[in-house]
Structure 1
C-alpha cells in the first residue's frame, strides 16, 4: 500500500511523470505525461495529490490560479505546509476531506504539532508560518465557494466593525487566527561576531583543526569555493536563494579599480521582488576570480566531456557580451533578457563560449551542474558537524550570515555616523543627513526590506551587544559596590 499522505509535486514543461516520480504510479492509468503543460500550468507550479493519487482541480486551483504570481519559494512552502495539514486530516481524523475540516480538527493539529510527545514539537515561528498558510488557503476557498466554514478559530485583530458591513473582505482584514503561538520571539536573531564567523569558516568549511592549522586527512576539495561563497554572503547580506541564483553576468570580476564593486540584483531572483544594488568588498575579488578562473572551468570541462550539457530545449546566450537568452523551436526564435529569468529558468540557461556551451549559473557543483539551495544548506550542516567534532561550540546557518552582515554593518555605520555628527553644527548635521541618510535605512535597502520596521530587529541585537560588553567589563570576583553602600547606610543609622 502507498504511504498515506498528501504528495507535493511540480508541473514540468517536459514530462510530468518522469520529473515527478511517485510510488505506485503504475496504479494511475489516467496519468498522461505532459497534461499539466497542455492545460497551461507553468513549469515549476506545485500541485497536490491525495494519498489515493487523485488530482483535485478545485484544491489545486489555489496554486494554478491564485498563487501563480507569487515567488517560487512562496508557492513551494505553501504547498508543503498545506499538505501537512491535509495529511493530518487523512491520518488522524479518519480520512476527512479538506472541504469538511472543522475547528476541532485544527486544534487537534495544534496539539499534535506542538505539544504531543509523539509529534514533531515544532517551534512557535514554524507553527505561525503553517497557520498563516492554511488560514490564507481557507479564506480563498471560502471566497471561491469550495467550503462553507473556516476551520481555523479567529479573533478580532484591531477593533470590532461598526454597523452591519461584515463582508468577507472586511472579515479578512479584521480577523486573525486565534491559534498563533505566543512564544515566537521575533526580536531574537542569530548572528556571529566576525572572529566567531572566521573560526566557524576555517574549521567547518576549510577543515582546519581546533588549533587553527590545516588538519591532516581533510579531503574538502571544494573548501575554497565554499569559503568564498560564505564570505560573499556574510559581506553582502544576500539570501542563500538569491546568491545561489546568481549568473556569470552579475558577479563582478573586474580588477584594479579599487573600492567596492557593485552589481544589480534583479527582481526576478530577489526575494519579495526586492531588486537592489549589492556591494562587494574589494578583498573578495581575488577569491571570486580564483574560483571563476580555475575551479569553475575544471568542472565545466569534465561535464562537457561527459555530455552533461545536452539539455532538451535549453535557453542559450549566444553572445556572452549580450546577456540575452535565445530558444529556437520549430524555426521560431524566442528571446528573454537574463535579468528577467527566475532561479528555475537560470538552471536551464547555457552560454556559448570558445570551448562550447557552459551553464550561466556562477556557482557549480562537482558535476558541473548549478548548485541547488538544498546542497548549500547541506554544506552548512556538514560544517557544523566538523566544528562539533573539533570541540568548537559555534554553529551557523545561511541566514545567520545575513544577520551578521546586518549587525556588523549597522554597528560600523552607527559608529561613523555618530563620529561625523559630533563635529558638526545643527545646520551641517541636517545637510549631512540629507546626503548620507540614516544608517538603519541604508541597511534596510541593502537587505531588501520593504519597511525599516523589519530592519529594526538589528537595533535590539546592538543593544544586547552593548549590554553584553558592559557585563564583560565587570569581573566575576569584583566586589558589588551596592553591598558596600548598604553597609555604610546601616552604620549611619
Structure 2
C-alpha cells in the first residue's frame, strides 16, 4: 500500500501518530504540553493549507471544537463564511504548565540595551555594532513589556489603533479589536507616556523613511489584492461590503493601504526596512538575535516575546497587590467590602489586561509572587549554619568519632556554648 503524505492525512492517522508519540513505550513519550504545542502548530498549518483559496489539502486531520466565548465578547458571527471560531480539540488534558519565564525591570533594560540597542555591558555604545532599526525594535519591545500584548496582537496593530500623544497624560488608552485579539479577547490597552513617545518617534522618523523609499521604488503599487481605506474615514471595501478597519483580521491588515499626497502608504504600524509590514517570523528573529548578542558578550539573559508578557504580568500584579493590601489595612470591614465592590481584585484586573478567559490562567503568576516573597524572606534568615569557631567544631566531631558521645545531636544538646548560640 502506498504510504500517505500530509495532504492525505486523516483523523485516524492523527490518532495513531498521537499514540506513538505520547503513549507507545517504544515511542518518544512526549509530555502533554509538548504534544499540545505540536497540535497547535499543525492545526494552523492545515487551516492554511485547506483554505479554499489554496486547496493544498482537502481535510484537516485535527478535530475541531467551537472556541470558548470570552467575557465581554459580542458573540456575533464572523463574516468569513458566517462560521464561529474553532480551535483544535485534540489537546491532551494532562499537560503541565511550564515555568513562568520573566525579567525584572533591570534585567529587561540590560537585555534591550545590549541585545537590541547595541551597547556593551559596561553601558558604552559598541562601535562595532552593525544592527539596523534599533529605535523600531526597542520601541516594539518597550511596548510589549509595558502592555502585556501578545506577539500576534501587537504585530497586527495599525496606525488607526495608535492613540494621539499630547504629552499631558501618564497613560494613554486604545482599544484592541476582537479580530486581532486572541480568542476574541478584545480589551482596553494602556500605554505609559514614555512607551507611546518611543512609538511616535519611530513612526515619524524610521517608519516615514521606510515608506518614502518604498514609494520611490513603486513597491506598494505592485501589491496584489490591496485593500484601500476610504479617504477621511476608517472604512474599507472587502468584496462587496464595507467594513471598519477594526473588523479586519491580521492577514487582511497586511494588504491595507491609505492614499496620501505622496502615494500609497501601508496602514500597518510596524514596517521592515523595505517599507513592507513585518511578519511574526521577522520579529521572532529580532528577539533571537538580541539574545545571542547578549550571550556572546557574557550577559546571561535570554528573552523571547512571551517572556515580556510574563514580565508585565508579574511586575504589575506585584505592584497592584502591594497597593491593594496597603489600602485594605487602613479600612474597617464594611469599607473593605465597599472597596472590593468598586475596585475589584488585582488578579482579575491583570486577567483582563492580558486577555485571559479564566482566572485559572492568570493564577500561574501568583506562584511566581510567592517565590519572590520567599526569596525576600530568605535574605532575613541569619547565616548560622557554620559556627565561626571551626576548631571547636572539629574537636567536637573527633569526640563523636571516638564515641565520647553517641551522636552529633547528643553533642549539640549537651554543649552549653552551642545551646546558648541557638537559644
Residues 105 and 357 (structure 1 numbering): CA distance in 2 closer, same or farther, change over 3 Å?
closer
CA distance in 1, matches of 2:114, 2:205: 23
CA distance in 1, matches of 2:259, 2:14: 56
Alignment partner of 1:220: what SS? Answer: coil
1:429 corresponds to which residue?
Answer: 336
Q: Is the 8 A contact 1:187 1:460 kept in 2?
A: no
1:23 corresponds to which residue?
Answer: none
2:112 corresponds to which residue?
Answer: 201
1:278 corresponds to which residue?
Answer: 189
Deviations 1:306-357 (A, max 9, x none): 11111233111132x4211136x8xxx6421100000000000001223221
Deviations 1:232-281 (A, max 9, x none): 00000000000000000002232122121000000000000000000001
2:33 corresponds to which residue?
Answer: 125
CA distance in 1, matches of 2:374, 2:31: 27
**Match runs of 1:288-327 below 5 Å:** 288-310=199-221, 311-319=223-231, 321-326=232-237
Q: TM-score normalized by structure 2? A: 0.75
CA distance in 2, matches of 1:134, 1:318: 37
Alignment partner of 2:273: what SS? Answer: coil
* Greater alpha carbon shift after TM alignment, 235-244 vs 305-314: 305-314
**Match runs of 1:46-445 below 5 Å:** 49-50=7-8, 86=9, 98=10, 101=13, 106-110=18-22, 116=28, 124-130=32-38, 180=92, 184-186=95-97, 188-310=99-221, 311-319=223-231, 321-326=232-237, 334-445=241-352
Query: What are the ranges of 5 or more consecutive residues in structure 1 without an aligned counterpart?
Result: 8-48, 51-85, 87-97, 138-149, 152-175
Q: Is the 8 A contact 1:318 1:325 kept in 2?
A: yes
Residues 432 and 390 (structure 1 numbering): CA distance in 2 closer, same or farther, change over 3 Å?
same
CA distance in 1, matches of 2:410, 2:210: 72
Query: What are the ranges of 5 or more consecutive residues in structure 2 without an aligned counterpart?
Result: 47-61, 64-88, 394-407
Q: Give the aligned length.
A: 356
Highest CA radius of gyration, 1 or 2? 2
Greater relative contact order (CA < 8 Å, ≥ 6 in sequence): 2
Deviations 1:366-417 (A, max 9, x none): 1100111111001000011101100111101100100000000000000000
Q: For residue 480 of structure 1, report the CA deviation from its aligned partner.
A: 8.0
CA distance in 2, matches of 1:395, 1:294: 29
CA distance in 2, matches of 1:255, 1:5: 60
Deviations 1:425-463 (A, max 9, x none): 111111111111100000000011111111000000101
CA distance in 1, matches of 2:209, 2:42: 46
* Greater alpha carbon shift after TM alignment, 232-241 vs 253-262: 253-262
CA distance in 2, matches of 1:388, 1:115: 35
Q: TM-score normalized by structure 1? A: 0.65
CA distance in 1, matches of 2:187, 2:11: 42
Alignment partner of 2:236: what SS? Answer: strand
**Match runs of 1:25-36 below 5 Å:** none
Q: Is the 8 A contact 1:191 1:401 kept in 2?
A: yes
1:452 corresponds to which residue?
Answer: 359
Alignment partner of 1:463: what SS? Answer: helix
